[in-house]
Amino acid sequence: MLRYLITRTGLSLLVLWGALTIVFLAIRIVPGDPAAMMIGPGGTEEDIDALRTRLGLAESLPVQYGRYLSDVVRMDFGDSLWLNRPVASEVFSRVAATARLAAAAAVIGIAVSFPLGIAAALKRGTVLDGLISIVSLLGQSVPSFWLGIMLILVFARQWQLLPSAGSSGWSHLVLPAITLAMPLIGVLTRLIRSGLLDVLHEDYVRTARAKGLSPRAVLANHAMRNMLIPVVTVVGLQLGNLLGGAVIVETVFGWPGVGRLLVDAINQRDYPLVQVAILFITASFIFINLLVDLSYGMLDPRIRIQ
């Protein structure tokens, strides 16, 4: 187990280094220049060159890269060119806001899709199954910017039940979390339905029924557990996506999350901020995947690591 963890950590560091390097190069290859952005359309080329030198951007790429890597190893992430504050604390507070949103969306997604998926599998081929299919298909295909604005129009403007945008209390969390949960509900419901249908035809389920277990016990103890692995995998991947990809929902609802920060930083060509935001998102993704892999062992003793 320990050896497995060490190997995994080593691999994770390798992935992080790869992500760092790609980001470092990609943002510098993209046309556009932080110095020109800081000076604005009114600047002359001389002004821009002077600022580039001051920011250390006039040096060659290998020199910048070497300095950057050594800073990262020492956990020195530098200051944002744009916000002029330490990058790490800025990114951290934004990751926290996004994590709150992603967690709420995951809870809603799981709480809604399990009952729907189970009901659809047990009532396969009925009208109910058809309705649930439609709902999950809609959840997957409705664009979040449209859904978000519709929720604002209905719940904030029409019924005035919830605030339209902002991030100060629980009431602000509801609409963005629902918007973010919809695609998750779509995917999970279909996955749970098909997973259960597969498992319900397995021999061990027939055996469990034959030995006289109640339908509920068959479902809970035998069928469910065995279809959880793909579900956990997808939830893990989706959570990772939510962390980095909530930018549309964050923009529609004015949520100060890391997705918006990253997009703003890219628009400002704020190299340090972009690099650290991606580092954080990558690290979260890796960590969630590690948890998912470890959970396999708990769910299925056959793949428990020796």
Partner 1 sequence: MTPANRTSPATLSDLVRNYTTGTISRRTLVQGLAALGVTGSLAGAIAARPELVAAQATPSSTEPAGELTLSLASSLEGIDPHGAFAVEGSTSIVITMYLDTLIARDPETGDLIPALATSWEATSDTSWQFTLREGVTFHDGTAFTSADVKASLERVLDLEGPLAPLWVLVDTVEAPDPLTVVINTTEPMGTVPVNATLLFIGPAAGINEDGFWNNPVGIGPFRFVSWVPDSELIVEANPDYWGGSPQLERVVVRDIPEPAARITALETGEIDFTYNIAPDQLPALEGNQDLAIDTTPSYTYYFNWFNGQREPYTDARVRQAMAYALDVDTMVTELMAGVGQRAQAPIPTTVFGFAPQTPYDYDPERAMALLEEAGYPDGFETTVQWNPGSGPQDRALIQTMISYWDAIGVRVESLEKERGLWIDDLVALNWDMNFQTNTVRTGDADFTLRRLYTTEANRNGYSNPELDEVLVASAASTDQAEREQFFAEACRIIWDEAVGIFPIDLIANYVYQDGIEGFVPVPSQVPEFDTVRVPAED
Q: How far is the CB of 98 from partner 1 (least distance, A)?
A: 11
CA dist., res. 70 & res. 63, Å (int)? 11
Does 47 bind partner 1 (CB under 8 A)? Our answer is yes
Interface stretch with partner 1, choices 15-23, 28-36, 60-68, 192-200 (CB under 8 A): 28-36
CA dist., res. 217 & res. 200, Å (int)? 13
Binding-residue total with partner 1 (CB under 8 A) = 49
Which lies closer to partner 1 via its Cβ, residue 196 or residue 247? 247
Give the residue, chosen from 15, 36, 128, 232, that forms a contact with partner 1 under the rule CB under 8 A. Answer: 36
Q: What does the DSSP assignment read for 234-262?
A: HHHHHHHHHHHHTHHHHHHTT---HHHHH
- Per the DSSP assignment, residues forming a β-bridge with 105 are none
Does 215 bind partner 1 (CB under 8 A)? Our answer is no
Q: 129 and 136 in contact (C-beta within 8 Å)?
A: no
Interface stretch with partner 1, choices 16-24, 44-52, 68-76, 284-292 (CB under 8 A): 44-52
Which lies closer to partner 1 via its Cβ, residue 39 or residue 224? 39
**How much is the CA Rg of the chain, to the nearest whole Å?**
24
Q: 250 and 298 in contact (C-beta within 8 Å)?
A: no
Binding mask 232-271 for partner 1 (x = CB under 8 A): -------------------xxxx-xx--xx--x--xxx--
Does 142 bind partner 1 (CB under 8 A)? Our answer is no
Binding mask 143-182 for partner 1 (x = CB under 8 A): -----xx--xx--xx--x--xxxxxx--------------
Give the residue, chosen from 1, 21, 22, 32, that forms a contact with partner 1 under the rule CB under 8 A. Answer: 32
The residue ranges of DSSP E strands in the chain, in sequence order, are none
Q: 262 and 274 in contact (C-beta within 8 Å)?
A: yes
For tokens 């729907």, the residue is 116
> What distance lies between CA 119 and its chain's CA centroid?
28
Phi/psi at 123 (nearest 5 deg)?
-105, 40
CA triple 172-178-184, angle to 5 deg = 145
Q: 184 and 113 in contact (C-beta within 8 Å)?
A: yes
Q: How far is the CB of 274 from partner 1 (least distance, A)?
A: 12
Give the residue, chosen from 31, 125, 212, 301, that forms a contact with partner 1 under the rule CB under 8 A. Answer: 31
Which lies closer to partner 1 via its Cβ, residue 245 or residue 256? 256
Binding site for partner 1 (CB under 8 A): 30-33, 36-45, 47-48, 50-51, 82-85, 90, 94, 148-149, 152-153, 156-157, 160, 163-168, 251-254, 256-257, 260-261, 264, 267-269
